[in-house]
Amino acid sequence: MLALTSTRKRMVDTQIAGRGVCDPLVLDAMRRVPRETFVGPEFEEFAYEDGPLPIGEGQTISQPYIVALMIEAAEVKTGDRVLEVGAGSGYAAAVISRIADRVYAIERYPSLAEAARRRFRELGYNNIDLRVGDGTKGWLEAAPFDAILVSAGGPEAPPALKQQLAIGGRLIIPVAEDERGQTLLKLTRKNEDDYETVDLGAVMFVPLIGEQGWAENDRYPVGNHVAGNDGPRQQPLQALPKMIAEAAEPLPEFDDPAFGRMFDRFADRRVVLLGEASHGTSEFYRARAAITRRLIEAHGFTIVAVEADWPDAEAIDRYVRHRPARAGAEPPFQRFPTWMWCNTDVDAFIGWMRAHNDEVAPVQRAGFYGLDLYNMSASIAAVLGYLDRVDPKAGAVARERYGCLTPWQKEPSTYGRAVLTAGYRKCERTVIEQCRALLERRLDYATKGDESFLDAVQNARLIASAERYYRVMYYGGAESWNLRDTHMFETLEHVMEARGPTCKAVVWAHNSHIGDARFTDMGIREELNVGQLCRERFGHDAALIGFGTHAGTVAAASDWGGEMEVKHVRPSHRDSFERLCHEAGAPRFLLDLRSREPLRQHLLEPRLERFIGVIYRPETELLSHYSRASLPQQFDALTWFDETSAIQPLGPEHARAGVPDTYPFGL
């Protein structure tokens, strides 16, 4: 319960107050009402996400921000009598009841009304009257009302509701203008016959069915569906796919040199960030490999920085740059999800990197670097191994400092709970002391092997970041995400500093890391990411290239730590950017988003975008894998593959003959 209370407060601070709702009565009420009570048990984990949720009968509980916006617009205050039409789960009525003197709610579905009444009783909200009926006709015997809020879209404001407003009363209602969507209107009654109307902006709600609304069997112009509910109005879908098709540049096959040349337009950047819409799609890996080969061969890029842990990637780096393997080191990428890097597409790419590096001078060889911070155990081993070689006394001190982390090296996600007990906060101090000690001896240690020192100090930084990450992860929220992405960005900076002022880097990471967070729902949650930090640090010298797909198969698990499965990707949602690209009709293309007018202007409006990680749950896809984003602000370009296929994990049959002692995957 404490965790949900904290999450609710964070929702109000970021999603509601952060968007401009400032009425203290509304903010206080939103903090007090437990939204998880008003959804089914299967949706409790999503209760404080920034979106609507299904509640049965084809209806939804509205997006929290929209609930707060409507209540604030209605100027609900202490002593008011308020009517809510379309009560649904009862959530909005419950919030209003924490402010107003009396709330009258109408719901046309008996099952939803009964569930809402039960919730009101359990919460002790005794100032709400709810009945089943036609909300478009209002509640005449309880009128007049100081405020009326309608949680469904009608063709116009029902005359009955307007007449039931008190003089000075406010009616908030979504009204359909045409087939493109709805406008949220505020009508204030000035006298018996005059109403002042204010446009509050574009929205999308389920239909208002009733005698003074839409008929039950009408072809409702907006559509009765969850996605897009309460969201911004979309551009006409039939026009946008055509515009995308006209701007799309067809991509050749991966092994055609012309594929890589398509991305020469970004070759003058210091950093080119290549995304992926999932961690288990072969086309994304193969495309990034083809682009990266071109950037290395033709344009002098020497850094490949990936969303992988430093010690694991360092084993690959030793192999591709013909450096000796670390004595006694385990094969890399043995932790979940092994398939993310131990797959045939990565195998082919690192084989190419090794062959390429064999033909160039050591200083010009392209390196393979990990940006992430999960593998704390391997990083501790790497630091201790380095110090044992160059400074055994310092190694003994480091062992003592890292001792407090020993119980959690194999399962660091449990560390956050341990921190709550006395004595374990000392780990934070000791790991920082160890990192500082390494940095203070950088000149002494650098004379004993610069590459080894960079590896050791970066592992020390990883341990310090990971200690804090697993500590704050226990509390949830934006801090753990921000710490992780800041660590990844700073690691990229350290690598670029080590490789020299003229070096250029390619970054491989998920779209959620390389697309600018400020122009997605992440920004609303006060989350930042590597793409945003690169834009802020490098400006025009950073190129952010996203990847997307409509359907196909993907390698993913159902739960963290679960077995890899080949899953079918559901066709993209009809309100998503992916559906627009699919309807453009081209199987694969590059869409340059920097100066494609008027297409860019039409795509600026936030729409749904799909994010599949190492976990994929098709049954809850809309809630667990879609978020809103402004595509042209999030990315500089989009690489599109309409139908994609799952990556193939490496197995014994893929072992490389003749290199059993040096090949990093240990096959």
> Which pair of tokens denotes residue 617?
């749950």
Residue 62 annotated as catalytic: yes
Catalytic residue among 6, 62, 89, 572: 62
Residue identified by tokens 């697309």 is 515
In angstroms, rounded to a whole number, what is the distance separating the alpha carbons of residues 58 and 47?
Answer: 18
Nearest Cα to Cα of residue 603 among 639, 571, 578, 569: 578
Residues 6+ apart with CB under 8 A from 497: none
Q: For the CA atoms of 292, 316, 635, 364, what is the dihedral angle to 10 degrees?
A: -50
Residues 6+ apart with CB under 8 A from 423: none
Exposed, middle or buried by CB within 10 Å (0-12, 13-18, 19+), for 500? exposed
What is the DSSP track for 493-547?
A: HHHHHHH-TT--EEEE--HHHHS-GGGBHHHHTT---HHHHHHHHHGGGEEEEEE
- CA separation, residue 282 to residues 138, 140, 209, 469, 638 (Å): 56, 62, 46, 30, 17
What b/e string do you get for 31-62 counting C-beta neighbours within 10 Å, with b at 16 or more? bebbbbbbbeeebeebbbbbbbbbbeeebbbb
> Which pair of tokens denotes residue 334?
């043995």
Please state, as a whole number, how many other Cβ atoms lie within 10 Å of the Cβ of residue 528: 19
What is the DSSP track for 317-381?
A: HHHHTTPPPPTTPPPS--SS-GGGTSBHHHHHHHHHHHHHHTTS-GGG--EEEEEE---HHHHHH
Number of Cα atoms under 13 Å in the Cβ half of residue 321: 20
Phi and psi, residue 552, nearest 5°: 135, -140
> Which pair of tokens denotes residue 302?
């020497």
Phi and psi, residue 486, nearest 5°: -65, -40
Contact 251, 547 (CB under 8 A): no
What secondary structure letter does DSSP report for 266? G
**Which residues are catalytic, by number?**
62
